[in-house]
Amino acid sequence: MYDVLAEQPLLVSGLMACLAVALVFGWMQTGNKIVLAAGLIFLLLIPVAFLIASNWVTDREQISAAIYRTAEAVARNDFDTALAIIDPLQRDKIAAAKSDLSRFRFDEARVNKLRTVDITEGSVPLSAEVDMSVTVVVSDQRGQIRGMRVPRRVILKFRKAANGEWFVYDYNHLPIVGAPDGFSPQQ
């Protein structure tokens, strides 16, 4: 419920506007000032909903922001910043990602669609799984491949650290459709 308030202010405001209109209509029919006051309160709460939504960052929004920051870092070939999203305790994942990234020069890295951001409520630590599609334009360091556009499906598993940050503890990338291929880390 809290996520709806923080992530969907238009929906919440629309519902409050409907309630306000219904209550004002009810006041016009009955003349009851309490009904009018309730309608005006709902009307005044509409900007409050937008204020709350703009200042309240949900876990889903934190994860999405981290993903887009990482995509921008990859597009700039700033691999140190891109690798910062991986849990520092996952040294093998960091090394594997560093090895993967260092073989290429990226001209573009774009998140096409966040298919799902599923947060596992009740998990300790809090975890989430993200399924998304991305497109990169890459060239290899040896010069054999130049400007190749590669769409991929990426699955990231996140954990929330004690400091509130979300880190990737496992990842895989696959073809957009089908099973893992020779480029997928976990075949």
For 78-119, the pLDDT digits (tens) are 999 999 999 999 999 999 889 888 889 999 999 999 999 999
Whether residue 179 lies inside any domain: the answer is no
Whether residue 181 lies inside any domain: the answer is no
Whether residue 39 lies inside any domain: the answer is yes
Q: Based on the fold, state whether residues 112 and 135 are members of the same structural domain.
A: yes
User: What is the 3-class SS of 127-173, one letter each residue?
Assistant: EEEEEEEEEEEEEECCCCCCCEEEEEEEEEEEEECCCCCEEEEEEEE
> Which helix (DSSP H) or strand (DSSP E) does residue 98 occupy?
helix 91-102
Give the predicted TM-score (pTM) of the model: 0.77
Whether residue 180 lies inside any domain: the answer is no
User: What is the average per-residue pLDDT within 174-184?
Assistant: 76
pLDDT value at residue 53? 82
Q: Based on the fold, state whether residues 36 and 71 are members of the same structural domain.
A: no
- pLDDT tens digits, residue range 121-144? 889 999 999 999 999 999 987 878
Tell me the pLDDT band of 187, cut-offs 50, 70 and 90: low
Q: Based on the fold, state whether residues 98 and 114 are members of the same structural domain.
A: yes
Q: Are 103 and 140 in contact (CB under 8 A)?
A: yes
Residue 142 domain boundaries: 59-174
